[in-house]
């Protein structure tokens, strides 16, 4: 069974690379720059969740996610010509919130940490 997981991981990595190439050629000016963060492929290689982020463009994240899912069939067809597989997994695009969540948490930490440090005395001065 472990072999299936390794195959799914390899297919996911190849999907990520190929989709990144396809995104560079995406002719949708409203979308902005799409970055493929991860491709998680099911064990049976029939479905893949494609996690992405986007910068710029006039569409928000949900609109971009909707548009990419509308274009998923076209991407799948293009991938069929690029990848050496009998069948390409069905694609589901999901906006990856981990980067924005990380930035939000980092900002919260930055707000709290300086206050805590200013309340503590400098340990070198206490030893004095």
Residue 120's pLDDT band (boundaries 50, 70, 90)? Answer: low
Residue 27's pLDDT band (boundaries 50, 70, 90)? Answer: confident
The answer to whether the CB of 15 falls within 8 A of the CB of 32 is no
- Sign of CA pseudo-dihedral 12, 87, 96, 21: positive
Angle at 39 between CA 93 and CA 82, to 5 degrees: 95
Alpha carbon 20 to its chain's center: 11
Residue (of 86, 91, 52) closest to 72 by Cα position = 91
What are the C-alpha distances in Å from 26 to residues 22, 41, 49? 6, 23, 19
Q: 2-97 in CATH: which number?
A: 3.30.300.20
Place of tokens 């990595």: 13
Q: Using one digit for the tens of pLDDT, what is the confidence trace for 52-85? A: 999 888 999 999 999 999 999 999 999 999 988 8
Residue (of 88, 38, 28) closest to 59 by Cα position = 28
Q: What is the pTM of this model?
A: 0.77
């Amino acid at each position: 069974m472990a072999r299936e997981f390794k195959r799914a991981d390899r297919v996911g990595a190849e999907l990520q690379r190929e989709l990144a190439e396809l995104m560079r050629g995406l002719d949708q000016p409203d979308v902005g720059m799409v970055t493929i963060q991860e491709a998680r492929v099911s064990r049976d290689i029939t479905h893949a969740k494609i996690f992405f982020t986007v910068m710029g463009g006039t569409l928000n994240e949900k609109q971009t996610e909707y548009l990419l899912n509308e274009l998923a069939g076209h991407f799948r067809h293009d991938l069929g010509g690029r990848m050496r597989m009998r069948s390409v997994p069905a694609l589901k695009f999901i906006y990856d919130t981990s980067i924005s969540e990380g930035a939000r948490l980092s900002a919260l930490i930055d707000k709290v940490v300086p206050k805590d440090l200013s309340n503590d005395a400098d340990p070198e001065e206490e030893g004095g």
